């Protein structure tokens, strides 16, 4: 089978790899679609992020859907040809955080395509994938592309859960890449009353309006527009910070009203935080990292037509043109989610 392997920054190869056979509780899957994520792009463009560096070749990818080919011993409830969304979240289910109900904080997490541990956790961009039963969520009724959006959607559903009650809230989303756009969808579905989104790209902001943002602000062409919300100690109840950029965080904090909640999703490395404003306005700064149960929730919301991710999928290319998907996904002037069709 072929797999998409990163060797170093800008050194992406489609290579032959041995196929695995499913063991107890596992399924053998034929990959349908894989979405290129920001973390994949970090490996592709920079060979890692923060202190995390590639130290050996690694199969990329963690946003995937697949067709069931066969099942291993003890697996029931799946049929050949069935479309499944495959969760890349593989907690050990035995460490103290797993047992406390915090699987996304698992001490032995084997999240697909991660160079954090060594040996690296190999990813899911491969024609044949053997996965555990608990990872495979029925995606009947969805397109393979939609099913492959379950992972980034789950990231934003987890953040929304971290925010708590969303009904009637005024929401600011800074950064309108896929996570920002999905945050708009998740916040709206959860009852947000007003959603304002910022970015530097007119293309992404047009998409933000299309999926339901009430107002968008282009921080490149209207750098002062957000400051109108700073009066009387701020306006917004919740900030989804999806850019990972310090100026976006600072601008968002200034526009948050007292007791507002900051959801930090953007992974921009360590940034300076306006701590005085957090103290004086009694803001809650809440990190949000990955997800676990929200994956199946997201699939279900898509199946019921309650969240529509289709407008995000701007490009789909074949496996032989995989690198094109990475180049497209890096270009915020024309692409939102670029996906690779494996079959
Ligand atoms: Zn992702
Ligand atoms: Zn664990």
Q: What is the pLDDT of residue 332?
A: 87
Instruction: Please tell me the distance between residue 181's alpha carbon and the centre of ligand 1 in angstroms.
Output: 13
Task: Report every protein residue that has its C-beta within 5 angstroms of ion ligand 2.
Answer: 91-92, 95, 98, 106
Instruction: Please tell me the distance between residue 277's alpha carbon and the centre of ligand 1 in angstroms.
Output: 31
pLDDT, tens only, 29-55: 999 999 999 889 999 999 998 889 999
Q: Name the average pLDDT for the chain.
A: 96
Describe the strand order of the beta sheet including 236-241 as a list of residue ranges: 215-218, 194-199, 170-174, 236-241, 256-264, 284-287
Note the ligand closest to the C-alpha atom of 36: 1
pLDDT, tens only, 167-183: 999 999 999 999 999 99
pTM of the model: 0.96
Q: What is the pLDDT of residue 28?
A: 98
Note the ligand closest to the C-alpha atom of 98: 2
Q: What is the pLDDT of residue 22?
A: 96
Instruction: Please tell me the distance between residue 156's alpha carbon and the centre of ligand 2 in angstroms.
Output: 22
Regions of the chain short of the pLDDT cut 50: none
Sketch out the chain's domains with CATH numbers. 2-140+309-341 (3.90.180.10), 156-287 (3.40.50.720)
Structure tokens at 17: 């790899």
- Asked if 240 and 261 count as a contact pair (C-beta separation under 8 A), the reply is no
At a CB cut-off of 8 Å and minimum separation 6, what does 27 contact?
Answer: 68, 69, 70, 71, 72, 75, 78, 84, 130, 131, 132, 133, 136
Q: What is the pLDDT of residue 242?
A: 97
């Amino acid at each position: 089978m072929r797999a998409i392997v990163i060797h170093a920054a800008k050194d992406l190869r489609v290579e032959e790899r041995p196929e695995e056979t499913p063991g107890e509780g596992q399924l053998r899957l034929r990959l349908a679609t894989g979405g290129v994520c920001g973390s994949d792009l970090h490996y592709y463009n920079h060979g890692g992020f923060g202190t995390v560096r590639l130290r050996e070749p690694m199969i990329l990818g963690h946003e995937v859907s697949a067709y069931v080919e066969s099942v291993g011993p003890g697996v029931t409830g799946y049929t050949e040809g069935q479309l499944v969304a495959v969760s890349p979240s593989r907690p050990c289910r035995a460490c103290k955080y797993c047992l406390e109900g915090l699987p996304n904080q698992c001490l032995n997490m084997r999240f697909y395509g991660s160079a954090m541990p060594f040996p690296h956790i190999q990813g899911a961009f491969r024609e044949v994938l053997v996965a555990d039963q608990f990872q495979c969520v029925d995606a009947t009724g969805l397109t393979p592309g939609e099913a492959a959006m379950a992972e980034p959607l789950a990231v934003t559903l987890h953040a929304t859960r971290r925010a708590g009650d969303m009904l009637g809230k005024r929401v600011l989303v800074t950064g309108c890449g896929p996570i920002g756009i999905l945050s708009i969808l998740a916040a709206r579905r959860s009852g947000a009353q007003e959603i304002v989104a910022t970015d530097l790209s007119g293309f992404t902001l047009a998409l933000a309006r299309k999926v339901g943002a009430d107002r968008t602000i282009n921080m490149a062409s209207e750098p002062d527009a957000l400051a109108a919300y700073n009066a009387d100690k701020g306006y917004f109840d919740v900030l989804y910070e999806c850019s990972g950029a310090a100026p976006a965080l600072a601008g968002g904090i200034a526009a948050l009203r007292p007791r507002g909640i900051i959801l930090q999703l953007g992974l921009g490395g360590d940034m300076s935080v306006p701590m005085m404003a957090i103290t004086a306005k009694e803001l809650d700064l809440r990190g949000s990292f990955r997800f676990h149960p929200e994956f199946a929730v997201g699939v279900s919301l898509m199946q019921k037509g309650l969240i529509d991710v289709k407008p995000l999928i701007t490009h789909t290319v074949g496996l032989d043109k995989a690198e094109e998907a990475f180049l497209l996904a890096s270009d915020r002037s024309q692409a939102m989610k670029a996906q690779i069709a494996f079959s």
